[in-house]
Structure 1
Amino acid sequence: MVQQDTGARALIGLDGAALGRLMPMHLCLDAAGSIRQAGPTLERIAGASLAGRPFSEVFVLRRPAAASDLAGLLALAGRRLKLTLTAAPSLALKGLVEGLPDGGALIDISMGISLIEAVNRFDLTLRDFSPTDLAVELLYLYESKSVVSAELRRLAQRLNGARVSAEHEAATDTLTGLANRRRLDATLARLLAQGRAFALMQIDLDYFKQVNDSHGHAVGDAVLREVAHLLRGHCRNQDLVARVGGDEFVMLIVDIVEPFRLARIAERLIRQIEEPIHVGMIDCNVSASIGVSIFSRQDDPDARRLMREADAALYESKGSGRARVTVYAAATASAGDPDAA
């Protein structure tokens, strides 16, 4: 708080409260160099009352020169001082000193470029500054900038969220929530570019047309959603399952390229898909035919070739009686390996 000093009133013509309002960061020193009055903002930053303490104990004069006593300080009258509080040495302050008739001194202190740091560090408000102080204008600008910056950040987050949502929707099958052809093509291209081994499993539902014809498209859609749920349950984080047509699905299975393992995975899928799917009071029975192609690191990274091979293997499964899996090429013979994991 501002100290009510009768000497200061006589010398300056203002009581301590008025001087504190006009110069919230002032100091009045007596002839011995001790602080007899301090502005309220200065005391708030210092964290304690400064009255009665020697100036040299509370402040460190950095430039233009060290002053060991009040006479040395008064010799710097009219010159800009750079000083710090011993209680807050990282906070750079500026000052201007003038002598008083009784041999003491009046020092007006400001924060300069330390203003924002001090405001944040000591929770200063507009009440801690003189209304005519340039710091008030700077605080208004700082607050305005903070508000605008915060709003821009919120806007950017909303736009980014909308972009991510739009990208997700553009790559998602609306009926099943699986990836669509666009995302499948992008993932396939990425895996080929990385040279990562994987299998492409093409899945076509058997007897699905009969479900649609007998019970209608609403029931058919429910069956597709349930099949999508089953397929998603067989996918790891690195795998992908996509719906690419009415009742056509594709799975990309990463790092598994042994034909017998892929055949076992496909056989489990077929068994699960063949379980009756209940839609209300209706039991729907479908199955699946599956064709598999394999990409190894030594192969030519040709997405169209892989799709053709999977199509050819699927065609063979369909032609062999449906509800079957065919792994493309001679490796198909390994599909029944009894040691499969």
Structure 2
Amino acid sequence: MTVQVAPLAEALDMLCPMHLHLDAGGRIVHAGPTLCKVLSGGLVGREFTQVFELERPRKVRTIAQLLQTAGQKLHLRLRTPPHTRVKAVLAPHPLGSGALVDMSFGISILDAVRDFTLSSADFAPTDLTIEMLYLVEAKSAAMEASRLLNERLQDAMLRVEEQAYSDTLTGLKNRRAFDHLLGHLLEGRQDFALMQLDLDFFKQVNDTLGHAAGDHVLQTVAAIMREETRGDDIVARVGGDEFILVFPGLVNRSRLDEVAARLIERIREPIPFAGKNAAISASGGVVRSVDYIAPTVDALLGDADTALYASKDAGRGRVTFHLDLPKSRSA
């Protein structure tokens, strides 16, 4: 029975797509389709050692010595970038001189798949690489699904946390958030000023223009407060028409006067709603942490409230510093 070389090469291409046929001089006679893809073709006629660097066994230096390594595991590296490492085994050619070399990427398979855009079609159907690629694809799909799920969970948690610490009508911090942040400032012994503001004549807006108008006024006032404060300032709605602003690091009296004046002036401007104007003002009380030996939440809020009602008693539409009140005492 005579076996033709061409059918043998075709069979090897199917069974061992990463094989080489070397002649007796170490030149490449034929290359499997996957190696042609990896090395961009043009292999036939080139010397094996021009394409691959033999890393082990180290004693092999010549083609003659290479052809004597039949059955041994060879450790090779591509001489061209990305210098991928491969494992190989050599066997004498069954139909004449020369040798057949079968190769595998080994642990470099994932790098090779990425670098050379390989797929399952580039490997023998029974190659365990196929199973590993399936596992990698499954793992990648599972990790992507897990990532997306984690993102959704984190987004949901952030939304829940934001809702738990936000006033739904105005988008400002709520009382829970304010208590937490103020406690954090006190624990850190950071200097700050606290301003408590109440809206004047807000009940009349609700009574004459309706609650929708009242909601619009609250949202407008909240927007004014955000515009007139810094990014790290705390602006919270703690009651129906009650607000508290905290200014970390700001205790300079003249600057606080300026902030208060801008807030009072802007809130005093008529707020249009459904063809009518809602007329309100704001009264406030201010305390500074530096005016206390050991400031506490109760002392700060109590004194700010006292200063606020002093503003209301003085005619409303103004801000009073607790330190300016007669017989003001620091806690």
| TM-score (ref. length: structure 1) | 0.89
Cα offset for 1:90? Answer: 3.4
Given the alignment, which residue of 46, 53, 59 partners 2:39? 46
2:26 aligned with 1:36? no
Structure 1: tracts of 5 or more residues without a match: 1-6, 333-341
Cα offset for 1:188? Answer: 1.2
Cα offset for 1:291? Answer: 0.2
2:287 aligned with 1:293? yes
Q: How many Å separate the matches in 2 of 1:283 and 1:298?
A: 42
| Aligned partner of residue 178 in structure 2, secondary structure | helix
> Number of residues paired by the alignment?
324
One-letter amino acid matched to 2:280: V
Alignment correspondent of 2:152: 158
Q: How many Å separate the matches in 2 of 1:73 and 1:10?
A: 26
CA contact (8 A) 1:241 1:250 kept: yes
Given the alignment, which residue of 110, 132, 141 partners 1:138? 132
Cα offset for 1:89? Answer: 6.2
Cα offset for 1:33? Answer: 1.4
Given the alignment, which residue of 233, 237, 241 partners 2:231? 237
Alignment correspondent of 1:117: 111
In structure 2, the CA distance between the partners of 1:157 and 1:297, relative to structure 1 (3 Å rule), is farther
Alignment correspondent of 1:83: 76
Cα offset for 1:285? Answer: 1.1
Q: How many Å separate the matches in 2 of 1:287 and 1:298?
A: 30
Q: How many Å separate the matches in 1 of 2:172 and 2:81?
A: 60
Deviations 1:134-182 (A, max 9, x none): 1111111111111111111111111111111111111111111111111
Q: How many Å separate the matches in 2 of 1:149 and 1:205?
A: 53
One-letter amino acid matched to 2:31: A
Q: How many Å separate the matches in 1 of 2:325 and 2:70?
A: 96
Structure 1 segments, 4+ long, off by >6 Å, are none
Q: How many Å separate the matches in 2 of 1:100 and 1:267?
A: 96
CA contact (8 A) 1:203 1:250 kept: yes
Alignment correspondent of 2:329: none
The farther-off stretch of 303-312 and 87-96 is 87-96
CA contact (8 A) 1:197 1:297 kept: no
Cα offset for 1:32? Answer: 1.4
| Aligned partner of residue 244 in structure 2, secondary structure | strand
Q: How many Å separate the matches in 2 of 1:331 and 1:73?
A: 99
CA contact (8 A) 1:195 1:297 kept: no
Given the alignment, which residue of 97, 103, 108 partners 2:102? 108
Aligned Cα root-mean-square deviation (Å): 2.1
Alignment correspondent of 2:12: 19
The farther-off stretch of 84-93 and 311-320 is 84-93
| TM-score (ref. length: structure 2) | 0.92
CA contact (8 A) 1:83 1:94 kept: yes
| Aligned partner of residue 14 in structure 1, secondary structure | helix
One-letter amino acid matched to 2:71: G
Q: How many Å separate the matches in 1 of 2:291 and 2:80?
A: 66
CA contact (8 A) 1:33 1:69 kept: no
CA contact (8 A) 1:259 1:327 kept: no
In structure 2, the CA distance between the partners of 1:111 and 1:280, relative to structure 1 (3 Å rule), is same
CA contact (8 A) 1:196 1:296 kept: no
Given the alignment, which residue of 270, 278, 282 partners 1:284? 278
Alignment correspondent of 1:4: none
Given the alignment, which residue of 269, 273, 278 partners 2:263? 269
The farther-off stretch of 204-213 and 68-77 is 68-77
Deviations 1:25-69 (A, max 9, x none): 001111111110111111221223211111121111111234233
One-letter amino acid matched to 1:194: G
| Aligned partner of residue 131 in structure 1, secondary structure | coil
Cα offset for 1:183? Answer: 1.4
CA contact (8 A) 1:263 1:326 kept: no
